[in-house]
């Protein structure tokens, strides 16, 4: 099929920053795009050819949208999977598939999938409601501290909580959830696996993630990860095993823990472009967003190697500020060597909301990390 400068139409469910960055590349290739998002102010609205407002969890809305495109993909997991399945049955190409998304969308189902497929992961228990955890504690099936995760609709630091006491537990919503053993770990790592329709596979280099201690959000992504080659190879092997089990089409971001004993455990996966791959726009021969297009359109996969070392800094709303956004001192960071800000186009800031990111590239990873700290300390996302 001729995708370029043609009547072909690519549909994207979700118009957030991931969609916006994918649209950089649809523009580059002149691929016609339609985007569906619930917000009239979604970041993707200006870069697509058609923009529709609608609820991504509403069955009929998603079906009606999908019937008017040739290939359908998504930039967010919280979409109506039954609608995707209907569209597949009607002949619409949906990548990643409804089957892949259905497994990943629910963290309890996702964790069970790992256990059934021999993928290493932290021990866990499933609960229909958070209040049921008390019984497991009383019967010593579970002990403090543990990690509580909402089975559905958790993202960007929401839906995850380290529970150290009964008061922590009482503050949580009473929803379907899992309780995970708290793993002492040295590093949080991620590998993005790209797979096209033919089954061609490529991995991006292992990246290392540094988290904000309170918000449970990534502050820095460092590529390549500062780990021994043997650990990197082990992480890549686990990521490939995970991708093989899912048989996904598109990108699969595999987040992992490197334990104190140098075991690699899968934390969770995302079937889409991912925060851990944003560095690739400046740092890689093929960005993760272009690679997603290559995967779902069954084109040859691009080179995943890095041209240069890269560190990504997330720009999130500063605490104490809500309202019309101001990027304080952005001129300062624009004057720094190898620094590229990406502003997502969200007009309203609030504490810890992802508003953009900054990539720092340098031949020396230590120098890139130093500049990243300088960027973090210079720019502030505040309100008027």
The string of pLDDT tens digits covering residues 361-376 is: 999 999 999 999 999 9
Same domain, 143 and 74: no
| Averaged pLDDT for residues 142-165 | 86
Q: Does 267 count as an annotated binding residue?
A: yes
My answer on whether 174 and 202 are in the same domain is no
pLDDT over 60 (residue 156):
no
The answer to whether the annotation marks 182 as part of a ligand binding site is yes
Q: Give the CATH number of the domain where residue 221 resides.
A: 3.30.470.20
Whether residue 181 is annotated as binding a ligand: the answer is yes
* 268 marked as binding residue: yes
Q: Which two tokens stand for residue 176?
A: 């379907």
2 within some domain: no
Q: What is the CATH number of the domain that holds 65?
A: 3.40.50.20
Residue 256 has pLDDT above 70, yes or no: yes
Q: Is residue 72 part of a domain?
A: yes
Instruction: Supply the pTM of this predicted model.
Output: 0.95
pLDDT digits (tens, 9 = 90+) for 64-119: 999 999 999 999 999 999 999 999 999 999 999 999 999 999 999 999 999 999 99
What are 245's strand-pairing partners? none
Q: Are strands 309-316 and 264-270 parallel, antiparallel or unpaired?
A: unpaired
The Cα–Cα gap between 46 and 62 comes to: 21
pLDDT band at 219 (very low <50, low <70, confident <90, very high): confident
User: Are 28 and 4 in contact, with CB atoms under 8 Å apart?
Assistant: no
- Tens digits of residue pLDDT in 19-51: 999 999 999 999 999 999 999 999 999 999 999
Q: Residue 119: which region, alpha, beta or left (left: phi > 0; alpha: psi -120 to 50)?
A: beta
Last residue of a domain, one of 137, 156, 181: 181
Query: What distance in Å separates the CA atoms of residue 9 and residue 69, rounded to the nearest whole number?
Result: 5
Residue 280 inside a domain? The answer is yes
Q: What is the pLDDT of residue 157?
A: 59
- Is the domain of 162 the same as that of 189? no
pLDDT band, residue 127 (cuts 50/70/90)? very high
Mean pLDDT of 207-220: 82
Residues 204, 237, single domain; the answer is yes
The answer to whether 188 is a known ligand-binding residue is yes
Distance CA 287, CA 17 (A): 15
Higher confidence at residue 262 or residue 212? 262
Q: What is the pLDDT of residue 211?
A: 83
Of the pLDDT bands very low, low, confident and very high (cuts 50, 70, 90), residue 215 is low
Residue ranges making up the domain that contains 350 = 185-383
CATH code for the domain of 135: 3.30.1490.20
pLDDT of residue 319: 94
Of all residues in the chain, the percent with pLDDT exceeding 90 is 92
- In the chain, the number of structural domains is 3
Cis check: omega of the bond before 196, within 30 degrees of 0: no
Q: What is the CA radius of gyration of the chain?
A: 21
**Alpha helices per DSSP H over 226-287:** 229-246, 280-283
Buried b (16+ CB within 10 A) or exposed e, 272-284: bbbbbbbbbbbbb
Residue 159 pLDDT: 87
Edge-first strand order for the sheet with 124-127 is 124-127, 177-181, 146-150, 160-163
50 is in an annotated binding site: no
224 preceded by a cis bond (ω within 30 of 0): yes
Do 170 and 191 belong to one domain?
A: no
User: In this structure, are 270 and 373 located in the same domain?
Assistant: yes
Q: Say whether 305 counts as a known binding-site residue.
A: no
């Amino acid at each position: 099929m001729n995708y370029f400068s043609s009547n072909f139409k690519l549909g994207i469910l979700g118009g957030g920053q991931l969609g916006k960055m994918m649209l950089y590349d649809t523009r580059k290739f002149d691929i016609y795009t339609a985007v569906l998002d619930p917000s009239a102010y979604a970041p993707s609205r200006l870069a697509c050819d058609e923009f529709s407002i609608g609820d991504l969890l509403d069955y009929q809305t998603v079906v009606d949208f999908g019937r008017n495109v040739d290939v359908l993909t998504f930039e967010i997991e919280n979409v109506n999977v039954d609608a995707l399945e209907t569209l597949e049955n009607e002949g619409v190409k949906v990548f990643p598939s409804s089957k892949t998304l259905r497994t990943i969308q629910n963290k309890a189902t996702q964790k069970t999938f790992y256990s059934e497929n021999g993928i290493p992961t932290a021990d866990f228990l499933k609960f229909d409601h958070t209040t049921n955890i008390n019984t497991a504690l009383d019967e010593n099936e579970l002990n403090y501290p543990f990690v509580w995760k909402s089975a559905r609709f958790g993202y960007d630091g929401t839906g995850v909580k380290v529970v150290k006491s009964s008061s922590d537990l009482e503050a949580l919503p009473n929803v379907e959830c899992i309780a995970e053993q708290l793993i002492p770990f040295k590093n949080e790592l991620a590998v993005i696996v790209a797979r096209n329709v033919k089954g061609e596979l490529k991995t991006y280099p292992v990246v290392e993630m540094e988290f904000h201690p309170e918000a449970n959000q990534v502050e820095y992504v460092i590529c390549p990860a500062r780990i021994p080659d043997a650990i990197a190879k082990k992480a890549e092997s686990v990521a490939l095993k995970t991708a093989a089990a899912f048989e996904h089409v598109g990108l699969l971001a595999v987040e992992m823990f490197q334990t104190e004993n140098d075991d690699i455990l899968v934390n969770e996966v995302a079937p889409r472009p991912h925060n851990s791959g944003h560095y690739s726009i400046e740092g890689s021969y093929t960005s993760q967003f272009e690679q997603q297009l290559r995967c779902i359109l069954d084109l040859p996969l691009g080179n995943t190697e890095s041209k240069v070392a890269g560190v990504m800094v997330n720009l999130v709303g500063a605490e104490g500020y809500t309202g019309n956004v101001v990027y304080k001192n952005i001129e300062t960071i624009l004057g720094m060597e190898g620094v590229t800000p990406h502003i997502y186009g969200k007009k309203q800031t609030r504490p810890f909301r992802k508003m953009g990111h900054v990539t720092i590239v340098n031949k020396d990873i230590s120098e890139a990390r130093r500049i990243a700290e300088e960027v973090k300390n210079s720019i502030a996302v505040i309100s008027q």
